[in-house]
Chain A
Amino acid sequence: MHDPNVRVFVVWEPVLLTDWHAPDSGAVGRVPDTRAMQYWDPQHALSGEIRRVADSNPQGVLGEHRLRAKVVWDFVALYPPGVRWGDTWPTAQFAGAPVVRVIDDLRRILTPPPPRDSAVRPVLPREQSLHRRA
């Protein structure tokens, strides 16, 4: 998943009782990738925006696996190139929650298939014997 053409937006928001402070260095340090930008959203502004659109299109916005909470959290979504956020929050190419449940599916989507030329070609026994004769 080392595609340089990916931008990651990490939005931290208070959900649990223990979230009485902004994310500390331990939390933000969990995402050290330079392609990421991190935000602290104590008012749940993004969650509210997503929830508003999800009411009419839960599958497209929140994905197949989603949490039944009022606040959208522990959530990940992928948006393809060209998709823009206009009047409303856009529909995702892939979305789901909790992250631990859907991360493998997201990884599969983000990982490009290996190019055909680099596929390992098995060396046939016949070829080996030809080399020996030469």
Chain B
Amino acid sequence: MAALSCCLPLGPFLLAAGSAGASGLFVSLQPYLIAFAVLMLVMGFVQAFRGRRCTRRRRITNIAVLICSTALVAAMLFAHVPASAPQGQPAVAAFRLDSFRQAFNAAADRRRVVVLLSPT
């Protein structure tokens, strides 16, 4: 049992980091994968702080993986927030078809240019 409590936290942390990373690739599954990543992170924390009877070396490994996983999941969460718009522009908005249609039609008195781009 002691060995299990030391080794198991690695699993949730790696699952958390893996699903957070995968959410970058599978855009449609992003909300579920991120929720799963956060859940695994919480499980990992709980197990890491329960397993106090581990060897010192094992605990250091757990803490290192914990920090890396938390950083990766945090990065993925913040990656969903677009950067602030340049001065004089409205904030970068999360795209919604209805609101975009309204904005497009609201500017029907002038010429409109629509551009679709990849951020990188």
A64 within 8 A of B: no
The answer on a CB contact under 8 Å between B113 and A78 is yes
Number of chain B residues close to chain A: CB under 8 A: 43
The answer on a CB contact under 8 Å between A28 and B111 is no
The answer on a CB contact under 8 Å between B92 and A38 is yes
Provide the residues of chain B in CB contact with A23, threshold 8 Å.
Answer: 82-83, 92, 119
Residue among A6, A18, A23, A77 facing the most chain B CB atoms (10 A cut-off): A23
B55 within 8 A of A: no
The answer on a CB contact under 8 Å between B116 and A45 is no
Q: Which of A68-76, A113-121, A124-132 binds B?
A: A68-76
Tell me the residues in window 58-104 of chain B with beta carbons closer than 8 Å to chain A beta carbons: 76, 79-90, 92-97, 100-101, 103-104
Provide the residues of chain A in CB contact with B27, threshold 8 Å.
Answer: 14, 42-44
Nearest Cβ in chain B — how far from A42, in angstroms? 5
A80 within 8 A of B: yes
The answer on a CB contact under 8 Å between B83 and A6 is no
Provide the residues of chain B in CB contact with A15, threshold 8 Å.
Answer: 118
The answer on a CB contact under 8 Å between A6 and B110 is yes
Residue among A24, A31, A78, A85 facing the most chain B CB atoms (10 A cut-off): A85
Provide the residues of chain B in CB contact with A78, threshold 8 Å.
Answer: 111-113
The answer on a CB contact under 8 Å between A84 and B105 is yes
In the complex, what distance in Å separates the CA atom of A17 from the CA atom of B21?
Answer: 12
B4 within 8 A of A: no
In the complex, what distance in Å separates the CA atom of A133 from the CA atom of B104?
Answer: 62
The answer on a CB contact under 8 Å between B119 and A8 is no
Residue of A with least CB distance to B106: A7
Nearest Cβ in chain B — how far from A38, in angstroms? 5
Contact residues of A with B, CB < 8 Å?
3, 5-29, 31-34, 36-47, 49-50, 72-85, 99, 106, 110
**A-B contacts, 5 listed (Cβ < 8 Å):** A7-B110, A20-B79, A27-B119, A28-B86, A76-B116
